[in-house]
Amino acid sequence: MRFGGVVKRKRVVVIGAGAAGLAAAERLVAGNADVAILEASDRVGGRIRSLEGFADIPIELGAEEVHGLENCLVPLVGQAGAELLRHETVHDYIRYDGKLISLEAARAGEDLREAFEFVANVSHYDGPAWTVEQYLVARHVPGHAWHYLDSRLGVEHGTTLDRLGMRGFVGYERNWQLREENYTVRQPYVRLLDPLLAVVQDRIRFGATVARIEWGGVEVVVRLAGGEQRRADAVIFTGSVAVLRDGGPEFVPALPPEKREAVASIGMDGGMKILLKFRKRFWPADMYFLHSDTFLPQFWNPGKGRGGRTHVLTAFVSGTRADFLRNLEIDLVEFALGELDRVFGERVASGNFKEAYVADWTMEPFIRGLYSFPLAQTEPRHREALAAPLGGVLHFAGEATDMEGHSGTVHGAIASGRRAAAEILETAGLSAGCRS
Ligand SMILES: Cc1cc2nc3c(=O)[nH]c(=O)nc-3n(C[C@H](O)[C@H](O)[C@H](O)COP(=O)(O)OP(=O)(O)OC[C@H]3O[C@@H](n4cnc5c(N)ncnc54)[C@H](O)[C@@H]3O)c2cc1C
């Protein structure tokens, strides 16, 4: 901005030091803005968090895979000195009706034909605003196909089939299918953010919970929980859609109706990872994912291809199943071991158990769940309304604001942060594919 020949640097406050916030701040610094990042927790990464010391490799509590090679996370992988390891679905297993068979064998057989056909054709859906479960029930899809889909689609989207909307797949499927091409890294996943962090590290203030955002004037006043306030020419809020839904900071004036409708219309459910360490391996040597017809729908071997020697399985449950389990108030570790005993045989898992770690993302006060997904009623306009800036001063980023089918991912979050930074710098926006 130029006043009488003096160039005034834009003061920008970025709320959140997750992937979106760091990516936004890095672009703003490059654009010569005066940037401060306020982060409520005591660490960077948000929904990217690596657990070190549990096994001989880092185990991911949040994001674990890089989805596809055509996105803006991939250049950061190279800059961070990390190496992508391809996850081949040939190493996936399915358990149904007491059988444990490879995904390849299941594909060649008849039993799960309806499930594979559903996955192949879901993008052509033009029916009513149903959930996937409503569709499957109306089609009399058998239980074993239903269970596979609950893991393959429900868990993949951080929910359960009774919440996942059919229409969300329309026009979205191409990018969703890119998630077929998955990679992991040997390094802690959070290290992939290092190239961004190198630029913005000294601008982050931790333990800084934003309680109120006053955005009605030419500048924004951001008030912290302790009462301190900061003034800025622009603010980018990157907290999750569940944080906005469940209260979040107070906005003054209140968010307009279309923003509130968007928040209420985009799904984001709870979920947890249960990490289980064993004395020895009892699952097939080549197994990566296990899609199971037990109550816990999905297990995987996080060490696969990453050179770990510790025997660890991750159990993942989301949506209404995760809520159901939490409300039962049972011992989650014992429950998970019981599920594995059912799959692999009497006391095979429980008899070899060493140690566990439970990461319940629903209980994280500044995240409150997994990641956004389409409900039955979600329409593309809801993501547009969530992303729309207000009053020329209040901007929104974060994975849920992605409009090109990359929501729920790290690269979608990065692209959204860069889009919001471009709005402020008034430079050309980047596409979410983020080909820069
Ligand atoms: C279990 C799990 C598995 C996943 N697996 C994958 C995967 O394999 N691949 C993939 O690409 N993606 C995966 N994701 C999704 C991915 O992690 C997210 O899409 C992405 O990290 C979101 O980044 P973000 O910056 O939008 O939000 P966040 O990471 O949520 O960052 C927002 C930040 O804002 C802070 N904040 C919120 N409110 C306030 C406030 N009032 N004041 C100050 N700070 C505040 C929060 O503390 C947080 O640090 C997974 C997520 C989870 C939870």
Q: What is the CATH number of the domain that holds 200?
A: 3.50.50.60
| 248 in the same domain as 306 | no
Interacting residues of 416 by C-beta distance below 8 A, sequence separation 6+:
20, 23, 238, 387, 397, 398, 399, 401, 402, 432
Last residue of a domain, one of 363, 398, 415: 363
| 333 in the same domain as 284 | yes
Q: Note whether residue 130 is domain-resident.
A: yes
Q: For position 433, what pLDDT does the model report?
A: 47
Query: Chain-wide mean pLDDT for the chain?
Result: 93
- Ligand 1 atom 49 nearest Cα: 46
CB 185 within 8 A of CB 83: yes
What would the pLDDT profile of 237-252 be if each residue is shown by its tens digit? 999 999 999 989 999 9
Q: Is the pLDDT assigned to residue 6 strictly greater than 80?
A: no
pTM comes to: 0.96
Q: Note whether residue 332 is domain-resident.
A: yes
> What's the burial of 123, exposed, middle or buried (CB within 10 Å: 0-12/13-18/19+)?
middle
Q: For position 1, what pLDDT does the model report?
A: 45
Query: Any idea what the Cα angle at residue 268 is, between residues 23 and 205, rounded to 5°?
Result: 35
Q: Note whether residue 213 is domain-resident.
A: yes
| 213 in the same domain as 153 | no
Q: Is the pLDDT assigned to residue 429 strictly greater than 70?
A: no
- Write the DSSP symbol of residue 283: S
Q: Note whether residue 124 is domain-resident.
A: yes
CA of 367 to the centre of ligand 1 (A): 7
CB 80 within 8 A of CB 250: no
Render 183-233 in DSSP notation, one character per residue: EEESS-GGGGGHHHHHHHGGGEETT--EEEEE-SSSSEEEEETTS-EEEES
Q: For position 175, what pLDDT does the model report?
A: 64
Residue percentage of the chain with pLDDT more than 70: 94
For ligand 1, mutation pick of 22, 250, 371, 372 (most atoms within 8 Å of CB) = 371
Which residue type sits at 90?
Answer: V
Q: Which domain holds residue 290?
A: 89-184+270-363
* Distance in angstroms (rounded) separating the CA atoms of residues 367 and 268: 10
CA of 366 to the centre of ligand 1 (A): 9
Last residue of a domain, one of 363, 393, 415: 363
| 334 in the same domain as 392 | no
48-75: average pLDDT = 95
CA of 154 to the centre of ligand 1 (A): 19
What would the pLDDT profile of 369-411 be if each residue is shown by its tens digit? 999 999 999 999 999 999 999 999 999 999 999 988 899 999 9
Q: For position 170, what pLDDT does the model report?
A: 76
Identify the sign of the CA torsion 435, 422, 244, 226: positive
What would the pLDDT profile of 84-139 be if each residue is shown by its tens digit? 999 877 789 999 999 999 999 999 999 999 999 998 888 889 999 999 999 999 99
Q: Is the pLDDT assigned to residue 20 strictly greater than 90?
A: yes
Lowest mean pLDDT among 28-42, 242-256, 414-428: 414-428
Q: How many CB atoms lie within 10 A of CB 345?
A: 11
| 179 in the same domain as 201 | no
Q: Is the pLDDT assigned to residue 76 strictly greater than 60?
A: yes
CA of 17 to the centre of ligand 1 (A): 9
Interacting residues of 339 by C-beta distance below 8 A, sequence separation 6+:
292, 294, 295, 296, 315
State how many domains the chain has. Answer: 2
Q: Note whether residue 321 is domain-resident.
A: yes
Q: Note whether residue 22 is domain-resident.
A: yes
Interacting residues of 295 by C-beta distance below 8 A, sequence separation 6+:
317, 321, 325, 335, 339
What would the pLDDT profile of 283-335 be if each residue is shown by its tens digit? 999 999 999 999 999 999 999 888 889 999 999 999 999 999 999 989 999 99
| 278 in the same domain as 179 | yes
| 383 in the same domain as 353 | no
Last residue of a domain, one of 315, 335, 363: 363
Q: Note whether residue 402 is domain-resident.
A: yes
| 300 in the same domain as 168 | yes
Q: Note whether residue 104 is domain-resident.
A: yes
| 336 in the same domain as 295 | yes
* Distance in angstroms (rounded) separating the CA atoms of residues 321 and 383: 26
Question: Within its chain, how far is the Cα of 210 from the centroid?
Answer: 22
CA distance between the termini of the chain = 25
**Please, which residues bridge with residue 300 across strands?**
289, 314
Closest ligand 1 atom to 272 CA: 1
Closest ligand 1 atom to 417 CA: 25
The CATH number of residue 146's host domain is: 3.90.660.50
| 164 in the same domain as 121 | yes
Q: For position 436, what pLDDT does the model report?
A: 46
Q: How many CB atoms lie within 10 A of CB 426?
A: 9
| 155 in the same domain as 204 | no
Q: For position 81, what pLDDT does the model report?
A: 96
| 252 in the same domain as 210 | yes
**Please, which residues bridge with residue 254 across strands?**
none
